[in-house]
Structure 1
Amino acid sequence: MKKAMNSLHAVTASALALTALSVPFAGSASAAQVFTQDVIVQGSLCVGVDCTSTENFGADTIRLKENNLRIHFDDTSNSGSFPNNDWRIEVNNSQNGGANYYAIQDATSGRYVTTIEAGAPSNSIYVDSSGSVGFGTNAPNTSLSLHAADGNTPGLRLEQNTSSGFSAQTWDLAGNEANFFLRDVTNGSQLPIRVIPGADSGAFVISANNNIGMGLANNDVTADAALHIRRGGAGNDGLPRIRFENTDAPNVWVMDVSDNGDFRVSIDGSGVQELLISSTGAVTIPQLANCTNGIRSSAAGLLSCLP
């Protein structure tokens, strides 16, 4: 059974002296003793009711050994504006069935500010000599402030709770072999933003004046264009193209720029341009190409050939 949490254990003068002289001790002293001078122990020190006279210290210099392991930092400052908060290092819960952990407690407030559970994997938190922090890795990238490593979708969760009076909202920022994504956990885990591995540099750029560029390898978004799209390569696969698709309509419309600089509007897959503006400024509407008697416009603005 665990002893009461408020039990006090003192290392007595005689116990320290006997430890220093490597003389076995048989039990606790009858009363605590106070040292008014420095105490030096040339050897290892065991503190706790379960220490034995045959303790095998191995490489340990100080060992705490009993069923309630606590180190309390009690700051007695009581004048002026000197700091006086108390702190405690706590190992494992004292209740039957409690958790196994190493924790740093703000003893004044009773809050546990840092807790490490038993069984945490190696390098759960690792700070290298350059100040980079690794989670799950002992070799964080020195060009990054934070490096998370995991076998399945490493990520960062941003969770706003209701403690400040605002509605709860949770976002995940994560990545894996399929995509890098932003996930709206609160609203059905929708993925409003995704980036597929292999995307080129400058695939999506927002300039300082809020203009948007797509396919700009040098991030050179045109200053006077709200949207700047660039794509290179010969043939149909290299054309800058915009698709307009209404899932409730049968046709998909496409706007693109041909290899010779013509601007074209067509129904996807039709093989015919509904509108063509050449690089020289000539406008062609193929369906009206054979209008030998002229072109007319209806009240609705529809163009057709004169009979």
Structure 2
Amino acid sequence: MTIKVSIDASGGDRGIPTTVAAGIKALIAFSDLHLVFVGDKSSIQAEFDKNISAQKHAKRFSIAHASEVVAMCESPSTALRKKKDSSMRVAINLVKDNSVDACVSAGNTGALMAISRFVLKTIKGVDRPAIMGRMPTMNGHTHMLDLGANVDSKPEALLEFAVMGSIAVKYTENIALPTVGLLNIGEEEMKGNDKIKQTAELLKASDLNYVGFVEGDDIYKGTVDLVVCDGFEGNIALKASEGVASMMGHYLKQAFTKNIFTKLIALIATPVLKDFKASLNPGKYNGASLLGLRGVVVKSHGGADVDSFFQAIKEAYLEVQAKITEKITKQVGQQTHE
């Protein structure tokens, strides 16, 4: 089966040169992938003409012209109402029309969520879509949701997030029964506010592999496969982890360039430092899923480079391959009728 993905080629901080190069890399990696690049046709074609590798895969990509671009600072309402021919909107429309199986964008997160929800609608029985992404841990990575789509979620919504996230992790990571933890200020039963305690009871009564509360540091220890939280806390945790990674890189660079001796040590330690940098590189975990929609939509970090944006395309590819939308629809439908 051919997997078709639309690329919001003009979205993000780096735009067409990066999205096209990442797309070509994805075409090389996945032989059953077809891409539709959406944006200014002449600019996209110019990038392809520069790339010798692209010519080998010319039959597996196409271009859909879009005359507008959603700016990173633009309000979701403006993007939704006034930019109906934006690269983001056209790319999502292709999912709705069943012309492609998924959409990937590095554009404005709020606009992407608003347009996706308006155009694709949510799965029947799903109240709110949630953003799920991967976070680096000591033993690999974990998944976390919501990362910012919802900032005042009720216990029922958090249970919904857990169900959708568990399905996605199970089938994209091949984990038979993913462990689920609820983010809290402590592991003890008496800790947390009323919303957290009510959510815990719902999770205990569910069929999920719920293991209890997890604290902030547990995210990076990798104690569970899926961390569930409200989008307010999730987004803070995400941005904090990115900040810590940047800070550590800053201080390491400062320490190793202090004088001639530290520079010599840095030279000797280059292989170790490269491994360290790769382990903490946020781009390695790029590609957050907008779960709960009637179609696969993956959000890339706005400043993603070629390798990072490739990871977002890969995430979309894996979700389509695993039929995540269909599985969430079926699971939520069963719960609705119970």
TM, length-normalised to structure 1: 0.21
Q: Which has the larger radius of gyration?
A: 1
Instruction: Give 1 or 2: higher strand fraction.
Output: 1
TM, length-normalised to structure 2: 0.19
